[in-house]
């Protein structure tokens, strides 16, 4: 399968991870066994990391709190920012972690059950780290679009049922 065909399969799975090799084969015009082999190979080599559902927890009334934390750190000789990053990623509260250009260094997205829980994490786990110089915590008030998914669907557009 050439590069374009592989990308086609990945685009389909990115949109709907539950598609079977038979469905993918039907959509792309590829052979079903070839698709199954390809998906197995892409899973094995880590191109497809894993499959998961995109869930709107707010539907369940679940109170998840997110905070974006700007962190300034002292880079360590020889390891730059990687040493502190390696410690941070191990905390289950850390949802995402990015090294930034600009006025601060690490952008930490923290997920917790309450503001209190996040405040505890910042005060007790993050700020005391030796290389951390300062933190600025911003709480998320509302999520509109997450990882490309718009959380509140727009109104359905009305099409006439028969048009030439």
Partner 1 sequence: MDSHHLAGRAQALPPSPIRRFFDLVQAIPDAISLSIGEPDFVTPWAAREAAIFSLERGGTHYTANRGTLELRREIAAYLARRFGLQYDPETEIVVTVGGSEALDLANRALLDPGDEVVVPEPCFVAYRPLVTLAGGVPVPVTTSVKDAFQLSAAQITPHLGPKTKAILLGYPNNPTGATLGVERAREIAEVACRHDLVVLSDEIYAELTYGGEHVPLAAQPGMRERTVLLSGFSKAFAMTGWRLGYAAGPEVIIDTMNKIHSYTIMCSSTMAQRAAVEALRSCDREVADMRRQYDWRRRVVLKRLNGMGLDCFEPRGAFYAFPSIASTGLTSTEFAERLLAEEKVAVVPGNAFGQCGEGYVRCSYATSLELIEEAMRRMAAFVSRVRG
Binding site for partner 1 (CB under 8 A): 8, 11-12, 26-29, 154, 157, 159-164
Min dist CB 41 to partner 1, Å, is: 22
Nearer to partner 1, 141 or 162 (CB): 162
Min dist CB 25 to partner 1, Å, is: 9
Candidates 156, 158, 154, 151; CA nearest to 59 is: 151
Min dist CB 36 to partner 1, Å, is: 17
Min dist CB 3 to partner 1, Å, is: 15
Using DSSP, state whether 3 is helix, strand or coil: helix
Nearer to partner 1, 141 or 150 (CB): 150
Task: Provide φ and ψ at 79, rounded to 5°.
Answer: -120, 0
Residues 6+ apart with CB under 8 A from 24: 9, 12, 13, 30, 35, 39
- Could you tell me how many residues make up the chain? 164
Structure letter (DSSP) for residue 116: H
Nearer to partner 1, 33 or 99 (CB): 33
Nearer to partner 1, 12 or 42 (CB): 12
């Amino acid at each position: 399968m050439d590069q374009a065909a592989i990308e086609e399969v990945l685009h389909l799975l990115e949109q709907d991870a539950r598609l079977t090799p038979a469905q993918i084969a039907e959509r792309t015009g590829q052979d079903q066994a070839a698709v199954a082999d390809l998906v197995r190979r892409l899973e094995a080599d880590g191109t497809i990391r894993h499959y998961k559902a995109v869930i709107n927890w707010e539907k369940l009334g679940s109170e998840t709190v997110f905070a974006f934390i700007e962190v300034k750190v002292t880079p360590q000789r020889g390891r730059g920012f990687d040493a502190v990053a390696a410690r941070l990623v191990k905390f289950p509260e850390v949802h995402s972690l990015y090294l930034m250009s600009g006025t601060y260094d690490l952008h930490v997205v923290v997920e917790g059950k309450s503001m209190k829980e996040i405040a505890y994490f910042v005060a007790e786990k993050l700020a005391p780290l030796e290389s951390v110089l300062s933190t600025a915590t911003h709480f998320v008030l509302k999520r509109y679009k997450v990882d490309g998914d718009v959380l509140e669907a727009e109104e359905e557009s009305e099409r006439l049922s028969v048009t030439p």
